[in-house]
């Protein structure tokens, strides 16, 4: 029935909003933990341990005005720290 369709649409929208809220809370928690790690070390130095997942930025592309690199990937794939 049309009423059931409306109820289902509202339910689906609420589920989407709830999922977005949970994703946002998760991201904020991760940022908070990372910030504690940064501020807990001297001069904002981050210390990674063996097995941590990290990414690095391709700085060469920052000052390049070539149109070929305009949409290039700026970050590496996640990699695990092998040793300190």
Domain extent listing, the chain: 1-44, 48-84
Between the alpha carbon of residue 20 and those of residues 43, 69, 83, the distances in Å are 34, 32, 36
- Residues 10-33 have a mean pLDDT of 95
**Mean pLDDT across the stretch 21-30?**
94
What pLDDT, on a 0 to 100 scale, did the predictor assign at position 17? 96
Looking at per-residue pLDDT, the higher value among 41 and 50 belongs to 50
pTM beyond 0.95, yes or no:
no
CA distances from 38 to 27, 28, 31, 41, 78 (A): 16, 15, 10, 6, 19
């Amino acid at each position: 029935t049309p009423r059931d369709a409306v109820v289902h649409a509202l339910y689906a929208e609420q589920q989407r909003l709830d999922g977005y809220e949970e994703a946002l809370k998760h991201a904020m928690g991760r940022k908070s933990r990372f910030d504690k790690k940064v501020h807990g070390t001297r001069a904002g130095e981050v210390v990674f341990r063996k097995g941590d997942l990290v990414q690095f930025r391709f700085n060469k592309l920052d000052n390049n005005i070539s149109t070929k690199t305009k949409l290039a990937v700026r970050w590496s794939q996640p990699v695990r720290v092998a040793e300190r």
